[in-house]
Amino acid sequence: MRMYDIIAKKRDGGELSYEELKFFIDGYCEGSIPDYQASALLMAIYLKGMSPKETTDLTVLMANSGECIDLSPIKGIKVDKHSTGGVGDKVTLIIAPIVAACGVPVAKMSGRGLGHTGGTIDKLESIPGFRTSLSREEFISNVQQIGICIAGQTSNLAPADKKLYALRDVTATVNSIPLIASSIMSKKIASGANKIVLDVKTGSGAFMKTLDESIALSKTMVEIGKRAGIETVAVITDMDMPLGNMIGNALEVKEALNTLKGRGPRDLETISFEIAARMLELAGKGDMEHCREEVRNAVYDGSALKKFAAMVRRQGGDSEIVNDENILGKAEFTQDIVSDRSGYIESIKTNLLGTASMVLGAGRETKDSEIDHLAGIVLHKKTGAKVERGEVIATLHTSNEEKLKEAESLLRDAYVISNRRPDTRSLILAFVNSTDVRKYADEI
């Protein structure tokens, strides 16, 4: 077999066989296929697409390129959750303890943030003492003992995806549905869950800008799951403005705790509760109406918050944070941003807010950058809100005073204020499973 022929076949619109894809993945991982040939194949896939069979074969090959976690020592149906990424997305911190409090084991591997979106592991590491780097034995044992553990992904999880993602990033081939779907699903399959709920974000802060694109990506991932024997469903949710009112690691932990106390912002609560209910439904806990009720009970009777405290304690963190959020600390410098005109917040360029938060220190510009856990942004006004001239719309937090100016300029560019009150958007836009696509909103 020759890589040249595989590239030419895809360039001409052919369907690659399992053996050809295996030749590519094995050769690229061991270094016998150079970056220039891998890049050419990625571009051919970007332009010509892939059939469902090819996409599934590629996914499974990438999943098997490294360690696959065996969760079978944990009793019960293990349901994983994955978000395609957004700004202020702290849903995992909320749903994991809720689902565990409802009796469904949560054995979750999460990633770090890069660029304008944050990562769950960085958020958890803002809790003093919290350890995310666990041995496989400790990870499994924590779930067996208390029903929940969130740990960092092992470095050997789907290494083929890691290598290919870095190459896609510099060859303008990230935005391809088969490549995104296989990248996400390979890591999920290698993480060992029996079932998966995907939170596919749509809007200005997401990869997918329109509902139709999100539905197409969801259908591809649901189909991969089906072919790989892992039941997968997708909830398509709004990311046209940041989720909740806080962006940044410690700030997001505070907001997650408030939501677990039943005092969270409406958008964050609505989306988190829906995803948690879908996870319970997949775990066989009853129909959606019943599962939504279970989720609300776990929050309002305090059992989800207790689960969060138990997880923090078990992973070495200070569980007193659930009673006293001041333990998380506060950034040395804060600056209020006031509106220079009256009107309505017509829209928010969510990506720019993500970038502003990164500039303040909350995210990484390169994968080796240090994180400032206390940095971030508190939003006092979001899309649709009325604002008066001179009123505070947001507060910047950082340990590096020099960054405030650049972040302010990005934040001002992000807010579009006009005389027009914008139409409200639905938070839950659609649901996709292997038999059905249900749209809850019109085209956006």
Summarize as ranges the residues that interact with ligand URA (CB under 6 A). 84, 165, 174, 179-180, 183-184
Nearer to ligand URA, 77 or 167 (CB): 167
**Active-site option among 81, 108, 168, 364:** 168
Known catalytic residue at 168: yes
| Closest approach of ligand URA to the CB of residue 112, in Å | 12
Type of residue at 219: K
Whole-angstrom distance, CA of residue 20 vs CA of residue 164: 16
Q: Which residue is nearest to ligand URA (CB)?
A: 183
**Active-site option among 10, 78, 81, 82:** 82
SS3 track for 32-87: CCCHHHHHHHHHHHHHHCCCHHHHHHHHHHHHCCCCCCCCCCCCCCCEEEEECCCC
| Closest approach of ligand URA to the CB of residue 218, in Å | 13
Known catalytic residue at 116: no
| Closest approach of ligand URA to the CB of residue 179, in Å | 6
Known catalytic residue at 425: no
Q: What is the DSSP string of 269-291?
A: HHHHHHHHHHHHHHTTS--HHHH
If residue 424 lies in a helix (H) or strand (E), which one and from where to where?
Answer: none
Whole-angstrom distance, CA of residue 136 vs CA of residue 35: 32
| Closest approach of ligand URA to the CB of residue 183, in Å | 3
Nearer to ligand URA, 42 or 310 (CB): 42
**Active-site option among 183, 186, 272, 357:** 183
Known catalytic residue at 82: yes
What Å distances lie between residue 145 and 73, 76, 87, 134, CA to CA? 12, 13, 33, 15
Type of residue at 403: K
Known catalytic residue at 187: yes
| Closest approach of ligand URA to the CB of residue 50, in Å | 14
Q: What is the DSSP string of 144-212?
A: HHHSEEEEEPPTTSSHHHHHHHHHHHHTT-S--HHHHHHHHHHHHHHTT-SEEEEEEEESTTSSB-SHH
| Closest approach of ligand URA to the CB of residue 109, in Å | 12
What Å distances lie between residue 383 and 24, 157, 235, 323, 333, CA to CA? 46, 38, 22, 31, 26
Residue 241 DSSP label: S
Report, as residue numbers or ranges, the catalytic residues.
82, 161, 168, 183, 187
